[in-house]
Amino acid sequence: PWPSQRDVRSVLQLLAVLQWVLSFLLLGTVSLLLLIYLLFTSLWLIPVLYLAWIICDWDTPEKGGRRLPCLRRWTVWKHFRDYFPVKLVKTHDLSPSHNYIIGSHPHGILCVGAFCNFITGSTGFEELFPGIRSFLTTLAGNFRLPVFREYLMSGGLCPVTRRAIGYLLSQKGTGNAVAIVIGGAAESLSCRPGVTTLILKHRKGFVRMALRHGAFLVPSFSFGENDLFRQVVFEEGSWMRSIQRRFQKMMGFAPCLFYGRGLTSSQSRGFLPYSRPITTVVGEPVAVPRVENPSRELVDRYHELYIRALLKLFNENKTKYGLSESDELHIL
């Protein structure tokens, strides 16, 4: 018998997620190894020319990247969205006359909610927030990997550096929203279903950047992000957690022992995320003045205002999107 439309959709959704996971886990490394191999073949000119291109193009990620709207609207991202599915919810308008730093929480394992909502056009960010251009920041080291850097920039990803964020907030006019996954690699180590722990108490650099550029702070929370994978979480003080911490400090990301579903069956184990709904709620912006050299006290004040706005967002929406009234947001 011919496969049903539902079966075809399921396969397309699975393939969309598969290409995304493989791209993030392998594209950079495989491309680097391939270019090194080609250097010792008759096709040596290809890696040489590409290396020359990278040298000339080295600063582009720090200067807004190279967004390709056609790739952001790629049909595959709709299948990617529907696999989970991912939904974007607006609670307040964002005026195009301001710039914004969107705090994205939690990190999860692979930041599926942040990527789908702020990089692809599949959840309707541009329709919900007309006049706002969204960007997402990631580790600067990713932009040193051949081919992978082009893949990242095409969607609007930029390095999570002062220079790159400052450029977006000062050199591209208004209406820019830079999403930062504030908890970073440290937060991914605590990612597991049923636990909502954020690394935020001492993360204040994003507040300082917002003050320097007068960018409003916007909290966002992706309910369901931590349910996509199962992770072996090592206790603080254990030798495995120490290895993870040291690796994180050296490389910028933490090696997590996690698993999801397999390729052929949702009951088997593999590296694909489980199909669990993700709802990203974008909260009320916190108005921030422009202060070129903000004091520590001023940074602390707006950091506290941001945390209050985030807690309000979480508590007002948790029962709507899979959590109970007793669930709390733990901030470390």
Query: What pLDDT sits at residue 1?
Result: 67
- Quote the pTM value: 0.92
Look up residue 315 and give its amino acid: N
What residue segments make up the domains of the chain, in order of their start?
A: 5-331
Segments in the chain forming alpha helices (H) = 5-22, 28-38, 45-56, 69-72, 76-83, 112-118, 125-128, 148-155, 162-170, 184-188, 205-213, 239-251, 296-317
Q: What is the structure's pLDDT at 190?
A: 76
Residue 188's pLDDT is 81
Structure tokens at 31: 């491309």
Q: Which residues touch 233 (CB under 8 Å, ≥6 apart)?
A: 189, 190, 192
Please list, in sequence order, all residues whose beta carbon lies within 8 angstroms of the beta carbon of residue 180, skipping any fewer than 6 positions away.
101, 102, 103, 104, 137, 160, 165, 206
Rg (CA), the chain: 20
pLDDT per residue, tens digit, the chain (332 aa), is 678 888 899 999 999 999 999 999 899 999 999 999 999 999 999 999 999 999 999 999 999 999 898 888 899 999 999 999 999 999 999 999 999 999 999 999 899 999 999 999 999 999 999 999 999 999 999 999 999 999 999 999 999 999 999 999 998 899 999 999 999 877 887 777 777 889 999 999 999 999 999 999 999 999 999 999 988 776 777 777 777 777 767 666 666 778 899 998 888 899 999 999 999 999 999 999 999 999 999 999 999 999 999 999 999 999 999 899 988 999 98
Q: Give the three-class secondary structure for 86.
A: strand
8 A C-beta contact, residue 106 and residue 196: yes
289 half-sphere exposure, CB direction, 13 A CA radius: 8
Element (H, E) at 238: none
CA of 46: how far to CAs of 19, 32, 143, in Å?
25, 13, 19
- For tokens 């000062």, name the residue: 170
